[in-house]
Amino acid sequence: MQFKYLRGWRGMLDLLHILPQPPTFAPNVQVRSFFPYNLRQFEFMKDTIAMASISATFSFLFFIRLSVYATLVEDLNNLHPPPDFNSTITTNCLNNPSLRYCNSSPEDLNDIFKSTIVASHLCNESKNPNCVESFPKIDLKNKPKIVPLYLSFNFFWKYCPLTILTIDISNNSMKGSFPLEILQCTQIQVLDLSHNGLTGEVPIQSLFPLNNLTVLNLSYNHFSESKISDAYFFERFNASCVIQSGILPNHRNYTIKAVILLILFPISLILFVGCFGWLCFVRPDYLPRMFQRRHKFTPSMIESITNEFSRRNAVAKGEGVDIYRGSLGDGTEVRIEIYNDGISRDNRRKFVEECKVLVQFCHKNIVQVMGWCDNQRLRAIVTEWTDGETVEMWLSDTAPPWTHRLKVMKGVLDGMCYLEEQWPEVEYDLRTSSVLLSSNVEPLISRFKVGNRSNCAKKIYKVGMFLLEIIANRRPNEDFDEGEADFIQHIRRHYPGSLQKVIDERMKLSENMVNQAKNGIGLGLMCIDQSSTKHPSLSHIFNMISKAYESCLALPFQHHSEDSRRHNRVPSV
């Protein structure tokens, strides 16, 4: 039996591909049958049928068919490639390198051998007249019980014999998607999958390379409608091939869809443009960050930030300006200054130009301007929120030590140096009532004016007044009848002889600190001396204050030490 099977696999291996010359077999072996087991079974069937009745014949045929299926599975499980199987493949590939299995690896030998077993059974099952010479068709029509079995043999379809020109798997009640494995038989001319229950899309891209395919029958299935762009593919075949297949579009449905599209598309387009316009011009903060207009706030955004200008968010209301506290979408706390005075178109343009400069400031001692709102009904500036207070309130309420006062002065000078270097056209307010303090005692210059560049002497004068107010803790415009002039005269009258009448008496100063305060007063008087043509430069003032501050940090003064008790009063000089 094994000897006869050798003839079967050798014949099938040749039929897997058409060779240019007759196949070579083992010596003294004549090819009489394609698969010997089936031949003996059919001979036995012939004798039995001649003696049995018609009904007994049908019963026996059914038994034989079940036996054949069982034999196929048994053969796949039990038979193995003979010793010369690899050499036969090598010989065939030398004669014809285009054979499918020529590029296979040694690990593929078992699959190639199994494909010969399946091919032998399938050729006889399809009732081909001479399976030894050719295998022209696969005919599994009306065989729903065995079709899934043969379709599951991927190794067979991978090495599908090139002699197969027709595949008929019709009328098998198959479910699921298109059986793609059969398309590995790229040489076929006829493919019939009609009268099944196949669903999903027809794989046009996989069918298109089958250049020899002239007959395609997909009728009476439930495929999805094909795309309009794929309709040309089915023009290659007879129109009857797609009857009741679901592939061709329903023209009535297309008409309904076209009408719906013509109505819904303009409406959808109008809604989209309207929504996008609303987002762009009313609530741009809802747009992705890459589409947002940086620093530009709309009236609707300001209303949202301030909870529609609720009393709970109101901080202060003054003449021409209202101040609110609010929160941006990311949780950032901000201060909103809303200006109630009406301005001309030119002034509005100047306002926007100023804001475009302010939002570029980036320094720890300058309030960060987040953006602005410029609208006919609302004009506002949005800045970062500071939980601290003004320097004036800080001096009056907390009696800060000398070290903290130096830190504030140093921070103000640092911010001034930044503005002078980067934005010399920007003017700023240095009154203690305008400079803010953060929670960690960092001063923040908060009021600016763009375009009116003041001269250097005027800025140095502001520095001097700020320094004197820090040391004396006196408010020129409130504590003196003549304002700044009386304040300056008061300091000059007591400097340097009666420093205790000038320096804030609440400060506890060491001897070194008293000297620093004395030098600070002298520096401030030099800055405000309008009769002099020579004033200290901003960098010189910054260096002096920085050295004094670093000196205090290097030798910290403890209020409860013996030295503090010894110098708890400012001595007369």
Burial label for 295, CB within 10 Å (0-12, 13-18, 19+), is: middle
pLDDT (0 to 100) of residue 409: 95
Return all residues near 314 (Cβ < 8 A) that are at least 6 apart: 322, 323, 324
| pLDDT at 30 exceeding the cut of 70 | no
Does the N-terminal peptide bond of residue 266 adopt cis geometry, omega within 30 degrees of 0? no
| pLDDT at 2 exceeding the cut of 80 | no
Q: Read off the tokens for 65.
A: 């068919």
Q: Read off the tokens for 528.
A: 């405000």
- Closest CA relative to residue 406, chosen from 414, 398, 416: 414
Q: Read off the tokens for 508.
A: 């506890």
Q: Read off the tokens for 504.
A: 């804030």
Q: Residue 132 — very low, low, confident or very high, per pLDDT cuts 50/70/90?
A: confident
pLDDT (0 to 100) of residue 383: 92
pLDDT (0 to 100) of residue 291: 54
When comparing pLDDT for 18 and 361, which is higher? 361
| pLDDT at 489 exceeding the cut of 70 | yes
pLDDT (0 to 100) of residue 301: 85
Question: Per-residue pLDDT tens for 509-522?
Answer: 888 888 999 999 99
3-class DSSP state of 182: helix
On average, the pLDDT of the chain sits at 79
pLDDT (0 to 100) of residue 309: 87
Question: Per-residue pLDDT tens for 367-411?
Answer: 999 898 888 778 899 999 888 789 999 998 888 999 999 999 999
pLDDT (0 to 100) of residue 425: 87
pLDDT (0 to 100) of residue 284: 63
Which helix or strand (DSSP H or E) is residue 383 part of? strand 379-384
| Distance of alpha carbon 438 from alpha carbon 263, whole angstroms | 59
Which helix or strand (DSSP H or E) is residue 146 part of? none
CATH number for domain 391-566, candidates 1.10.510.10, 3.30.390.50, 1.10.10.60, 1.20.1440.230: 1.10.510.10
Neighbour count for residue 105 (Cβ, 10 Å):
6
Strand duo 197-200 + 175-176: pairing: parallel
Count of helix runs (H) and strand runs (E) in the chain: 20, 16
Is 391-566 the same fold as 293-384? no
What does the buried/exposed string (b/e) look like for 55-92 if buried means 16 or more CB atoms within 10 Å of the residue's CB?
A: eeeeeeeeeeeeebeebbeebeeeeebbeebeebbeeb
Does the N-terminal peptide bond of residue 20 adopt cis geometry, omega within 30 degrees of 0? no
pTM of the model: 0.50
| pLDDT at 27 exceeding the cut of 60 | no
| pLDDT at 532 exceeding the cut of 60 | yes
| pLDDT at 472 exceeding the cut of 70 | yes
CATH number listed for the domain at residues 293-384: 3.30.200.20
Question: Per-residue pLDDT tens for 216-258?
Answer: 998 889 888 777 667 778 777 876 676 666 665 555 555 777 7
pLDDT (0 to 100) of residue 290: 56
Question: Per-residue pLDDT tens for 62-71?
Answer: 333 445 566 8
| Distance of alpha carbon 559 from alpha carbon 404, whole angstroms | 14
| Distance of alpha carbon 133 from alpha carbon 124, whole angstroms | 12
| Distance of alpha carbon 11 from alpha carbon 16, whole angstroms | 9
Question: Per-residue pLDDT tens for 196-216?
Answer: 989 998 998 899 899 999 999
Name the residue ranges covered by the structural domains of the chain.
1-135, 251-281, 293-384, 391-566
Lowest mean pLDDT among 272-286, 447-461, 517-531: 272-286
Neighbour count for residue 492 (Cβ, 10 Å):
13
φ and ψ at 122, to 5 degrees?
-65, -35
Sole residue written with tokens 């709309």: 298
pLDDT (0 to 100) of residue 244: 62
| pLDDT at 191 exceeding the cut of 80 | yes
Q: Residue 12 — very low, low, confident or very high, per pLDDT cuts 50/70/90?
A: low
Report, as an integer, the average pLDDT of 254-272: 80
pLDDT (0 to 100) of residue 302: 87
Question: Per-residue pLDDT tens for 416-445?
Answer: 999 999 988 888 888 998 899 988 889 999
Report, as an integer, the average pLDDT of 93-98: 82
pLDDT (0 to 100) of residue 147: 93
For residue 242, what is the DSSP state? G
Report, as an integer, the average pLDDT of 120-149: 91
What does the buried/exposed string (b/e) look like for 337-353 if buried means 16 or more CB atoms within 10 Å of the residue's CB?
A: bbeeeeeeeeeeeebee
pLDDT (0 to 100) of residue 6: 38
pLDDT (0 to 100) of residue 96: 80
pLDDT (0 to 100) of residue 50: 32
Strand duo 197-200 + 222-223: pairing: parallel
